[in-house]
């Protein structure tokens, strides 16, 4: 598999430490510079300090959940591709998140290759947008 652009920064937002750790390893090997946040509040603080190319965000979390993070992130005028993740995925939740500006929605559990494919598609979309 071709590795992803090494300058790409990704933020993983999930209250499950094991999932964050696993994704950090997998995406680090793919060339991403990875940061982690355990909830939406911490992710908002981190996104205010650093621009991320991609944010992988869980839907159900304590403090600030995924949809609220997405709403506050976009209302602050921040840019970046947001991919929502959930083990409790419903079509309604996915549609709600997409309407609020999420690029995609991935159901947990997922295979590593699934996440990498979604990230590659997002990267290709950004490349095409920048060419036009």
Q: How confident is the model at residue 6 (pLDDT cuts 50, 70, 90)?
A: low
117 falls within a domain:
yes
DSSP letter for 103, please: S
Q: How many domains does the chain have?
A: 1
Each residue of 91-128: pLDDT tens digit?
A: 788 888 999 999 999 999 999 999 999 999 999 998 88
72 falls within a domain:
yes
1 falls within a domain:
no
129 falls within a domain:
no
131 falls within a domain:
no
What pLDDT is attached to residue 126?
Answer: 86
DSSP secondary structure, 56-101, as one string: EEESS-SSS-HHHHHHHHHHTT---EEEEEESS--HHHHHHHHHTT
88 falls within a domain:
yes
| pTM for the full predicted model | 0.91
Q: How confident is the model at residue 14 (pLDDT cuts 50, 70, 90)?
A: very high
65 falls within a domain:
yes
CATH number at residue 62: 3.40.50.2300
Residue 47 domain boundaries: 9-121
What lies within 8 Å, CB to CB, of 126 at 6+ separation is 53, 81
Q: Mean of the per-residue pLDDT values for the chain?
A: 91
86 falls within a domain:
yes
Query: If you average pLDDT over residues 43-66, what whole number do you get?
Result: 95
Report how far residue 125's alpha carbon sits from residue 116's, in angstroms, rounded to the nearest whole number.
14
More confident: 88 or 53: 53
């Amino acid at each position: 598999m071709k590795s992803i652009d090494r300058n790409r920064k990704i933020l993983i937002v999930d209250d499950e430490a094991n999932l964050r750790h696993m994704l950090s390893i997998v995406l680090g090997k793919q060339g991403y510079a990875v940061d982690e946040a355990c909830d939406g509040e911490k992710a908002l603080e981190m996104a205010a300090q650093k621009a991320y190319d991609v944010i992988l965000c869980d839907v159900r979390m304590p403090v600030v959940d995924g949809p609220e993070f997405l709403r506050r992130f976009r209302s602050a005028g921040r840019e970046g591709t947001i991919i929502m993740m959930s083990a409790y995925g419903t079509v309604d939740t996915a549609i709600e998140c997409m309407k609020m500006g999420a690029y995609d929605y991935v159901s947990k559990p997922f295979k590593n290759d699934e996440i990498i494919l979604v990230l590659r598609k997002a990267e290709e979309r950004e490349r095409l947008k920048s060419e036009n």
